[in-house]
Amino acid sequence: MRVAIIGSGGIGRGYAAYLTTQGHQPVLWSPSGAAQADFAGDAQLAVTGKIETSLPLAVASGCAEAVAGADAVIVAVQANGFRAVMEAMAPHLVAGQSVIISAHCSFAALHLHRLLQHRGIDLPIACWATTALTARKSGPRSVHISGIRAKLDVATLPVRHAQAGLAACRALFGDRFEARDDVLAIMLSNLNPPAHVANMLGNLTRAERGEDWPNYGSITQGVGRIVDAMDVERLALAQAFGLSVRSVQDHYVHSFGVAPGPVGEMAAAVYKNRPELLGPKTLDTRFITEDVPFGLAPLEVLGEISGVALPLHKAGIALFDAICARDFRAENDLLPALGLGGLSAAELHGELRGD
């Protein structure tokens, strides 16, 4: 399959490497233009970690070129790039294509769906709860893939295209996907925001001073109790919308194969197996700049619409606003574009199903 990958960071490059090894033809488009400079001429992508190879990388000069003729389009940018990328893609997408958002957050699929509806285009938008692999850009022309996930949750907007969305995901990445009810279930299955916010609060000065600190090894019993308490709020929110999602304990068992228990104990077990995973060495990290505005703030909106109190989520936003001297709610550019405030819980859920 020809696959357009939107985004040339670690995840985008990792997908390009993985899909090439599976016999697909990926083409990368970097919204910033960085990939064109990095891979000018005959420069190849050096891949280390779970995949060891060097391979040529096709790079498009623009979004229209990348999307043209693609069977599938994978969005692999950080959340603060979703709106701009989707507004660049929407004029060029056509019926018969599939879109995959890796990983989905903050009603991004709804924004793209509305843009396509305006053009009369109906296609599956498959949304993942997280990325299919973990990878980092290790140099101008290299990527290190540290993990490939065995299981991944997916839902499709509109739900009538659920089978087509699931089929596209499996055709590209194999039989590792578990279908969820709808995109709202995917949004409420993202455990990164509470986990990252709690861990950054507990290790704030270590990150700010640029110290080395173990990511999972620093989720102490106290940090774990914050995660557990925020999870109670998230599960209550899911229940208000009639959805069943995994608890944070279920997530650790499902993702890492550790025994269930308090988050602090489960994180310690993960750390024993993955001691090399370090936390951020700066406050300018997606653990804050992505997970607060595009993770916590959308859940706050869902809480206001459904009448579910989320005091810890609200506190997390307020604390990081103060710590970073920023207004993180204002940094989410998707929420103003969607104008969800006038919707009831049932109306919003219906839109997120494509009813």
Q: Tens of pLDDT along 177-215?
A: 999 999 999 999 988 899 999 999 999 999 999 999 999
Which class is 2-187 in CATH?
alpha beta
- The Cβ of residue 233 has, within 10 Å, a number of other Cβ atoms equal to 19
Take residue 120 and report the two structure tokens written for it: 């009369």
pLDDT(304) > 90: yes
Q: Tens of pLDDT along 223-238?
A: 999 999 999 999 999 9
Cα dihedral value 93, 94, 98, 99, nearest 10: 20
Q: Tens of pLDDT along 94-145?
A: 999 999 999 899 999 999 999 999 999 999 999 998 899 999 999 999 999 9
CATH assignment, 192-348: 1.10.1040.10
Question: DSSP 3-state assignment of 189?
Answer: coil
Would you state the pLDDT for residue 341? 85
**Locus of tokens 């219906």:** 350
Q: What does pTM read for this prediction?
A: 0.93
Instruction: Of 199, 201, 191, give the one whose Cα is nearest residue 319.
Output: 201
Q: Tens of pLDDT along 7-51?
A: 999 999 999 999 999 999 999 999 988 888 888 777 899 999 999
Instruction: Of 41, 37, 40, 31, give the one whose Cα is nearest residue 8.
Output: 31
Q: Alpha carbon of 247 to those of 104, 136, 262, 268: distances in Å?
A: 18, 28, 11, 18
What distance in Å separates the CA atoms of residue 165 and residue 174, rounded to the nearest whole number?
Answer: 13
The structural domains of the chain, with segments of one domain joined by +, span: 2-187, 192-348
What distance in Å separates the CA atoms of residue 329 and residue 296, rounded to the nearest whole number?
Answer: 9
Q: What is the 3-state secondary structure (H, E, C) of 223-248?
A: HHHHHHHHHHHHHHHHHHCCCCCCCH
pLDDT(244) > 80: yes
Question: DSSP 3-state assignment of 58?
Answer: strand
